[in-house]
Structures are given as C-alpha cells and as structure tokens.
Structure 1
Amino acid sequence: MASSLTNAPFASGIVVYCRAGFESEAAQELDATAAAAGVAGFARTERNAGFAEFVLTQQGAPDALLRLFGWSRLIFARQSLAVIGQFKALPREDRLTPLLAALPAGFQVGDVWVETPDTDASKPLTAFCRSFNNAFVQQLRRSGALDPRSPWRLHALFPTGERCLLGLALIDHSAPWHQGIPRLKFPREAPSRSTLKLDEALQVLLNAGERERWFKPGMSAVDLGAAPGGWTWQLVRRGLHVTAVDNGPMDEGLMASGLVTHKREDGFRFQPRQRVEWMVCDMVEQPRRVAARMAEWLAAGWCHRSVFNLKLPMKKRYLEVQQAFEAMQATVAAAGRELEIRAKQLYHDREEITVFAQTR
C-alpha cells in the first residue's frame, strides 16, 4: 500500500532552493512565514549556497510544514522540502546506506530526485547525481520502498559530494521540475530573450486550468514597455490582440502578425480606451514606481489581470518587496476592490521578481 501522510517520518525543518546570492532574502521570508504562523525555529543560510534552511525548535509533521512553507507561497523559493536527515560526511564508498536508514520501515515514496543546488560550485556534481539517482531508485525498488501511488517524493540535495540534505516533497504540492527550474528553450522567432521570463511566469504563477481559461484567441492585452516585443510575442502566440506601448521600435516580424498595435507612448502615461483582459509590463524603473503604476491599472479596472517585473535594489530587497505589495493592496482597497498577488523570483529573472496580480 502507498505511504499515507500520517506515517511519514518527522521533519527537523524546511530547506528551500533559491537563486545563488538571494539566500538572505529566502531566509527572511522563511522567518516571516514562521513568525506569522507561530512556528518556533530559526532560519540559517550560507553565502551563495543556492538554498536556505529553517530549523525547527521541535520536529514537526512534514505535510503540515510543506503546506505552510509551500514553494508556491514563497517568493524566493524554487522548491520547498521537509528535511528528514542531514549528513555532513557521507563515506564515498557507501553513501546509500545512511540515506536509506533515515526512512522508517514501511514508508514508501513515489520517486526520488538526487539534485545539487543551482550554483557554479555544484555543477561538477551533475554526473554524480545522475548515476547516484539511478542507484537510489534501484535500491528503493528492491527494498519495497518505491510505490508510484505514494504522495511523497524523496529528494537528496548534495551541496558537496559528502554532504547531503534528505527531504520530502508532496508531489501534488511541489515544483514539478528538478531544482525547481523549468527548462525552457528560447524560441528563435521571439524578438528577445526576455520572452522566457513571461513564458516561465505563466507556467510557475498560474495553474493549467487558469492558463486555459485566461488565454483564449481574440482576448485583448496591453504590453507596457514592450519594445522590441519579447513579452508581446508570448501573448500573440496565444492568439491575443496586443497593444504594444513603447517609444522604441517593435520587431517587424511580430508586427506582421496583424495582432499588434504599436503605440509610441510612455508606459507610465498610457491609458487604454477600454478594459483589457491582460496588462503585462517589464519596464526598468524603481520597484515602488512600477508597483504604483500596476496598482493604478488594477484599481481603475483597466485590466482584469497583470504580470509584471519589479527590479530589486541591492540592499533590503525583501523589505522593498513587502512595502511595494502593501502599497498596492492599499491603493486597490481604496477603490473598493480586493487584490490577489502571487510572486516569484524566476530562474530567468536576475535582480528582480515577477508578479501576477488580479482583482476580485
């Protein structure tokens, strides 16, 4: 029988994967989430490690922890795992035995992923992870600990060849990509590589049902700061009619689609003549100014939904994000509307986060 949620081993904490250099922001978010929920513990990080941890004062149930610290709820986390074992000096001649011993008798998982953090220092371990993953799967199958009906996936995160964090993920509530990274191929027809940001955002911030309902041929959209058209291209390929707002030139091939109207105007001043389904924006400007402009659109009802980027400062990045979102909530609330915000630092982002927002 597949493992239920009740017979899983207790967890000592949470580990989240993040972009290298943003460990501090990931840790601040873990601390804030725990404090809001009254969970005792502390976050810890290592510079440029590509992950952050929250250590519990007392062990907890992994399913409850993963729902609280779920990867989709956190901005700076690519993946969230409940930690069930930490190993600092695994013997090279037999790494498997200690890891298998961390699983209680009778506990089963649906799959196992052996991974490294997304850092330059960890790249040499890629080949090792592939071979070790195969050996891990075979051993779990022989021992009866592998069952595709199990709700759990086992993760072994190797920052080094001897160190491992062993964790559990709820398959239906975790990032479905190794290292939490969607592997996207740059479409040659797209005008710029920024197109991958919006492509990833729609996969990460929306579920399959939302993508199907909210992107239908004939729908309308506005792209603020559109040139040369990387984000517009993603909308056009889904059949939307796009008003591209930018004083710069748009890609000729994109304009030939017949689905784009180019307005040579300032994105901070443009106002649509009628409501549109989508407004997207990737303008390089201070995050609070962009957030204020997005809130203005949503409060006025000029669009149903929006996806936009916020370029982050070098310091106090987590605080800047929280203050920007609070200001947006206040602006939209003053207009008598409710605002839903989902945000993520995507793989294709750098010093920025990507945000989905809609009014209800």
Structure 2
Amino acid sequence: MKRPHTIAVAMSGGIDSSATAAMLIEEGWNVVGITIKLWPTISERKAAQVARCLDIPHYIIDLQTEFRRTVVDPFVEEYRRGRTPNPCVICNPRIKFGLLLEYARQELGAAKLATGHYARVELDETTHKWKLLRGVDATKDQSYMLYRLQQEHLRNILFPLGYHSKEHARCIVEKLKLPASRKESQDICFVTEGSYRNFLASYAPELVRPGPILDTAGKQIGEHKGIAFYTVGQRRGLGIAAGKRLYVVRIDAHRNAVIVGSREEAMQRSIKLKSLTFVSGEQITKPVVVSAKIRYNTQDAPALLKPIGNGLAELLFEKPQMAPAPGQSAVCYVGEEVLGGGIIAEAGESEG
C-alpha cells in the first residue's frame, strides 16, 4: 500500500542503512536517501550506489565544518584534559538528529528521518511522551549511544531495525543484491586509517609527548609514550615488568602522567556524573533505582542514581565496576527503557 508521506533515510552505504531503506520502500513509503559528508576521507560512493539500486533520490549534505567544530575539536580537547570521550554521543543529537533531521524535514519535506540504529522509539499512551528502548537484538543494541536524544528528536525519527536482528538486515541486502559495504561501522567514523591514537598524533602532536608512569603512591615505575595512547582501565601496552597485572587507574594531564595500579585500585563503586540529560526532558529530583552501563560494550549493572545538586548526580553501584573512565558516558535504564545519563566527571574512592 502506497503511503502519503516521505521518509528520509540516513544512508552510509553499509548493511544497516541499506536494509532500512529497503524495508521502508517495501512498506510503501516514499523514500529518499540522504548522506552526510562529515570528513574528507569518508566516501559517499557506496551510499549513492545503493540508492541507485533501490531507485530512490539521493542527496548529500556537507556538514564538515559543523562536524569539526561540534565533534572533532571537543574530542581532541577532552584528550588534552586526560579524558576518554565518546564522539558518537555528541554527534547523534547535534549532527545526525539535529542538523541532518532539520535538513530532511525543511529541505526535502520528509515527515521523519530513519536510520539503521538498533534501538526502538515508542509513544507512551499514558504520558504522551516518547520512549527510547533497547533494540530487540541485544548483541547490536545501540540505545547507549542515543541516550542524549530528546523528545523533539524522538517524535521525528524511525529505527526500523530496532525490532529485528543484524541477520535480518543482512538477509535483506543479500536478497536484493545491494552493493552495501559488508564492513562493520567503525567506533570513530572520522578515523578511517590507523587508530585514533595515530589520528591524535597528527591532529594534536602535543598529546604524544612522553611522560612518567606512576604507581598510586606517586613513585615513577616507567615512561609512557603520550597520554593519548592510554585510557583508564587499559592493561596491555604499558611496557612495565612489575610482576603483577597493572591497569591505568587515572590520567593526570596537568603533569602529563599516567597512574597505574592493581585491579582492585581500578574498581570503583561510586561515580559522579555531569551534563545530565533525560529522555523525558524532566530532571530527576529524588534517587532512582536503575541499571547502568559505563561503556558501550559492557553489561549494565544495578545502581542508585542520586541527584546531588549543581547539575550533578552520583551513580552508586551495588558492586564495584571496572575502571569508569572520565569523559565516557554512564547510561541509566529502567527495564528496557533508557532513562537518561551523563558524562563521567570522576569516580569515587577505590573499593578494595
């Protein structure tokens, strides 16, 4: 059945966005493809090829200047401060579901923007608020990366793959013989060659200045290659023969020092959060029992989220968590629903 509205699909040329476009066409929507030019080394060629195969219009919007200013420059600045940022968390509300969504609606006349994310958006019939839920495929769930989305975003977006598995998307692409890239998307899209450390070495060479590796008592036990090469929780690549396993427990950018300790010293039960945001748009005023993740690829764990004033909150876990990294996000869930979260400002005392 032909539907009256236009849906814009954010297309990268990968399996997920290609399958999303194909699914919406099958449902009868008037589909247009749209690709963001974010970085000089990111090609739009695959997306254009898929759009041609699907026989849909394809548009390219150049947001390189905005992306550099909004995402890349803050990414580098966080490393200068000894933190470990997550650029996708910033890009999603500001670029993909900010500027791109605005372009799709205003310039292309699209009713909604669809992407290939594995998450779900549903309207709560009681509160009339939009909810962000985990994707059905737990192995691909991307709700963590989307926790900063607000009501004005959610009401205008679709995540068709949130109700399906990766295998379902792969089958659609293979059945239609679409020339989609089989590579999994990279953690950091603008790092197309080498590692993010190589990117930082060329973009901000001062971050690869050698400095001391200290134990938690302040004694120097080695030398690091530059704070950009280390993140809290890291064990491999320290270059220290200590006779026991050591982990990065803190990065002191002011002293250009990497502090290492035992696994027990890296474990933390209490985390302070800043830049809090909640999907409902309403701040919490009392403690809430949640299940929280401190990294994208970790299991969430039971915790208590407590507002402590000045726009901050404490996340107190039932059990100590391994090496919460300042700059990363802690995302809180209530069952399948994303409550919200914040940026890890600091961790509390070590739990021995």
The TM-score, its normalising length taken from structure 1, stands at 0.24
- Which one scores higher on RCO, CA 8 angstroms, separation ≥ 6? 2
TM-score when normalising by structure 2: 0.24
Between structures 1 and 2, the one with greater strand share? 2
Higher helix share: 1
